[in-house]
């Protein structure tokens, strides 16, 4: 079963999830999932049967939820923390930590795939449990509604408003984040020694072969914006945490949503449930909370 732009998931089944790359515990009540990865709009819709109020729509087991805690415990984030040991690292917030973790997973998979060759491209399930989630994240071009990507003409429309200045500040912040973390994605980088060596070499005006950039700014930006706009604030066993997971971030927002979501400590799972009766073909909305989308 693969997701192209739309897929039906049967009721109460353990499925080989989107794009067939890993097995994730998802319990659905006959939903249709529209993916934005192919250029269309994302969303979750009721299938061909009505869904009564109180029914679970999507259940995602804890092993398939990436939390801020897990990201910070990864080798990637530990390398980042060691590189800035003794300095203020408050700028390494939850979305940035998870961005670094997922970029490393994506980079590792890309390198593994290139080493293995095209014949082994279907062995992703042995490499990273997060690949399907990564594949469903939108392309950078699909963030064109964000002022960061406005044309000069569009920016003129914002002239005189605080939004333009906020957008410019955000652009500067993201570029600074990238400059601070890009070294951790290089497999042969010993903390920040490569960066220090490069700086010393420039001072001595010696020629040095330029290192290949493993993760470009565009790749970083795509992941950073995806994580930042799709993470959930959960409380798991009394501990608040920021998290990312597949499928759960597919529903669109509505202020008066017809479904609710929470982490169920008894089920050890993230659950989206219907708040009212849902009819076939109806789009399922969740609330993103009191913040701008």
Residue 109 is inside which H or E element, if any?
helix 94-116
Q: How far is CA 187 from the centre of its chain?
A: 22
pLDDT value of position 11: 36
Count of other CB atoms within 10 angstroms of residue 258: 21
Q: Where are the domains of the chain?
A: 21-65+245-292, 68-110+131-187+211-230
pLDDT value of position 186: 72
Q: Where are the beta strands (DSSP E) in the chain?
A: 6-9, 15-16, 23-24, 31-34, 43-46, 56-61, 66-67, 232-236, 239-244, 252-253, 259-264, 269-274, 283-286
**Cα separation, 279 vs 51, whole angstroms:** 7
**Cα separation, 289 vs 67, whole angstroms:** 19
Q: How far is CA 12 from the centre of its chain?
A: 26
pLDDT value of position 192: 46
pLDDT value of position 108: 81
State the angle between helix axes of 162-181 and 217-230 in degrees (0 to 180), rounded to the nearest 10.
Answer: 120
pLDDT value of position 39: 47
The tens digit of pLDDT for each residue in 203-260 reads 444 555 555 668 899 999 999 999 999 999 999 999 999 999 988 888 888 888 999 9
Residues paired with 235 in a beta bridge: 240
| Residues in the chain with pLDDT values less than 50 | 1-29, 36-39, 114-121, 123-126, 191-205, 292-293
The CATH class of the 21-65+245-292 domain is: mainly beta
**Cα separation, 37 vs 139, whole angstroms:** 7
């Amino acid at each position: 079963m693969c997701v192209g732009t739309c897929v039906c998931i049967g009721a109460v089944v353990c499925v080989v999830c989107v794009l067939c790359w890993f097995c994730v515990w998802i319990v659905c009540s006959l939903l249709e999932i529209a993916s934005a990865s192919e250029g269309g709009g994302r969303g979750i819709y009721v299938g061909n049967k009505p869904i009564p109020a109180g029914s679970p729509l999507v259940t995602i087991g804890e092993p398939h939820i990436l939390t801020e805690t897990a990201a910070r415990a990864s080798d990637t984030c530990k390398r980042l923390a060691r590189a800035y040991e003794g300095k203020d690292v408050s700028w390494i917030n939850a979305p940035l930590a998870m961005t670094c973790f997922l970029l490393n997973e994506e980079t590792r998979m890309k390198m593994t795939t290139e080493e293995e060759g095209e014949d082994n491209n279907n062995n992703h399930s042995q490499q990273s449990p997060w690949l399907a989630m990564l594949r469903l994240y939108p392309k950078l071009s699909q963030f064109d509604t964000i002022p960061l990507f406005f044309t000069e003409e569009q920016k003129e429309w914002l002239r005189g408003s605080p939004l333009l200045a906020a957008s410019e500040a955000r652009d500067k912040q993201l570029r600074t984040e990238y400059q601070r973390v890009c070294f951790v994605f290089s497999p042969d980088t010993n903390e920040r020694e490569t960066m220090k060596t490069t700086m010393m070499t420039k001072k001595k005006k010696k020629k040095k072969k330029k290192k290949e950039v493993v993760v470009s700014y565009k790749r970083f930006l795509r992941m950073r914006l995806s994580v930042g706009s799709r993470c959930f604030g959960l409380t798991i066993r009394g501990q608040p945490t920021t998290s990312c997971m597949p499928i759960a971030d597919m529903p669109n927002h509505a202020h008066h949503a017809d479904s609710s979501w929470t982490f169920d400590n008894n089920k050890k799972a993230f659950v989206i449930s219907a708040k009212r009766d849902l009819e076939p073909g109806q789009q399922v909305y969740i609330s993103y909370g009191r913040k701008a989308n």
